[in-house]
Amino acid sequence: MDIFPIYLVKACLAGNIDDMEKFGIYEVLPEDFALCEFVDPSKNDIQDIISQGIDRMLKEMA
């Protein structure tokens, strides 16, 4: 998988659905970003950001 976590998180924060699809939102789970969250010096809740992005995608599909 060629997932760029930084760009995917930024797309989720911006709410840009096209970019979320482009960067692979369909291929990840929030737990996949546990290491990114652990090493983040700002201690952002990255798993929650991805979870909200997935929820936004599901709302758009319904």
Question: What is the full DSSP assignment across the chain?
Answer: ----HHHHHHHHHHT-HHHHHHTTGGG--GGGGHHHHHH-TT---HHHHHHHHHHHHHHHH-
Q: How many domains does the chain have?
A: 1
The tokens describing 27, both together, are: 């291929």
Residue 1 has pLDDT above 70, yes or no: no
Single-letter residue type at 37 = E
- The predicted pLDDT at position 14 comes to 97
Give the model confidence (pLDDT) of 15-59 as tens digits.
999 999 999 999 999 999 999 999 999 999 999 999 999 999 999
pTM of the model: 0.91
Of residues 37 and 1, more confidence is placed in 37
62 pLDDT band (50/70/90 cuts)?
confident
**Structural domain span for residue 45:** 5-61
**In the structure encoding, which two tokens stand for residue 8, read together?**
């995917």
Q: What number of CA atoms fall less than 13 Å from residue 50's CA on the CB side?
A: 25
